[in-house]
Amino acid sequence: MTNATPAPGRGIAVITGASSGIGAATARSLAGAGFQVVLGARRIDRTSTLAGELGGRAYPLDVTDDRSVAEFTAAVGPCSVLVNNAGAARGLDPIASGSVSDWEWMYDVNVLGVLRMTQAMLPALVASGAGHVVVMGSTAGRVVYEGGGGYTAAKHGLAALAETLRLELSGQPVRVTEIAPGMVRTEEFALNRFRGDRAKADAVYAGVAEPLTAEDIADCVTWCVTRPPHVDIDLLVVRPLAQAAQHKVHRTAPSTG
């Protein structure tokens, strides 16, 4: 879906956490749909390469740092779409023994990072006359599960932020959409959650024939932001066929051959 010379007319779309996974896939998808993309992430080497491929721009961004957000926003200028994709999980510990610092970090990245970016970019989104805030939630923001207290609490908080923002922007030319994916297999999410433990990361997807991909979610983002301006997709929950619910995942038996 890569397009190094985007078609005119779609406007400027900002994607946070764009150095890999869903963020990078969303940048490719939006560029292919005609948006001029501006990529933000801490790994500026990756985003610069991708931006060059897509005919876009890239600036360093740490959504947990006020100064970084302010400098990024100043560099972006006008904007019509903000995709708050940056987010992550840490650990799978029960509440009784969970790390407070892990919980703080997850809340800072998944909730306060979206707050910082949305506050900073909102004037430009309103000024565009047809702004759109997309937040990357999760089914974890709808249903809890054992061992996921910190992450599910953060994603529930993010869902509340999106719903409240929609109420507060009533009458303004800005749409608010939450994308809530279920099981998505990317190269880094589970690996980062388990601090590089490949065996634990792989176990999350063991026996699942076709988890969602980053490109699947990127397609969802692109579809939402390309609806007519009067159409607001409030919430889009998307799961792989194998995942009937948060706790119900069809797994095939491992091969013995």
**CA 253, CA 251: separation in Å to the nearest integer?**
7
**CA 111, CA 127: separation in Å to the nearest integer?**
24
Catalytic member of 59, 107, 145, 151: 151
Label residue 29 exposed, middle or buried (CB < 10 Å: 0-12, 13-18, 19+).
Answer: buried
**Helix 113-127 / helix 149-168 crossing angle, nearest 10 deg:** 20
Decide: helix, strand or coil at residue 90: coil
**CA 119, CA 216: separation in Å to the nearest integer?**
28
Which residues make beta-bridge pairs with 82? 14, 133
Catalytic-residue membership of 151 = yes
Label residue 233 exposed, middle or buried (CB < 10 Å: 0-12, 13-18, 19+).
Answer: middle
Residues with Cβ < 8 Å from 31, sequence gap 6 or more? Answer: 1, 2, 3, 6, 37, 54, 55, 56
Q: How far are the Cα atoms of 70, 126, 176, 247 from residue 244, in angstroms, in the given order?
A: 41, 38, 26, 8
Positions marked active-site = 151
